Amino acid sequence: MSLIWQLSVAVIALAFVALVIFLIKTLKAAENSLDKTSQTLQEVQKTIDELTYEVKEVLRHANGITEDVQYKMKQIDPVIETVKNVGEILNEVTLSAKQVSTALIERFKKPTEVRVSTKDAARAALQTPSEKTVQSYEATYSKKNSANWMKWIDLAAGAWHKFRH
């Protein structure tokens, strides 16, 4: 029995030595992998540090550009507002000129209708309702409004002259 014990102990010792050798190789391989991983992480950290600096520089430049654009936009705002106002004034002047020219054309079309006669009364009876409305409006407002429109046109022309010079 002692031989079996000795043989069993020898086999166990050999198995233990084989296990230790296998574990040593595995640990060496793990150590090499960890060394490579450590080097890679150091390189990645260095790259990240360099990129961080560059990203900060880009952000500083972007902030500077944004501030510059905002400053320039604030300077342009009055110009845009002026252009808008000029457009509105020109629109009003155009509308006024259109109304004045329409009134003048209507006045020149019917110069004999100022005197009311039986022929005019007969013609007035044959007119459409919209023609009667236009004549009624002109009769009521043409003298007052033509003077007002002329004042508006003079005012707009003066403003336009000042704006150009």
Domain edge (last residue) among 21, 53, 76: 76
Asked whether residue 113 falls in the same domain as residue 152, the answer is yes
Q: How far apart are CA 81 and CA 77, in angstroms?
A: 6
Q: Is 113 helix (H, G, I), strand (E, B) or coil?
A: helix
> At residue 104, what is the residue type?
L
Per-residue pLDDT averaged across 9-28, rounded?
94
Phi-psi region of 127 (alpha: psi -120 to 50; beta: other; left: phi over 0): beta
Each residue of 3-18: b (16+ CB within 10 Å) or e?
eeeeeeeeeeeeeeee
Residues 54, 98 within the same domain: no
52 and 115 share one domain? no
Q: How many domains does the chain have?
A: 2
What is the extent of the structural domain holding 14? 9-76
Distance separating alpha carbons of residues 94 and 73, to the nearest angstrom:
31
The upper half-sphere exposure of residue 122, i.e. CA atoms within 13 Å in the direction of its Cβ, equals 3
Q: Give a yes or no: residue 3 inside a domain.
A: no
pLDDT tens digits, 100-139: 888 878 777 765 444 445 555 556 555 555 555 555 555 5
pLDDT of residue 114: 47
Q: What's the pLDDT tens digit per position in 41-51?
A: 999 999 999 89
Q: Kindly state whether residue 4 falls inside one of the protein's structural domains.
A: no
Q: Where among 76, 99, 114 does a domain terminate? A: 76
Alpha-carbon Rg of the chain, whole angstroms?
50
Calculate the alpha carbon distances from 148 to 69, 141, 153 in Å: 45, 10, 9
* pLDDT tens string 136-151: 555 555 555 555 666 7
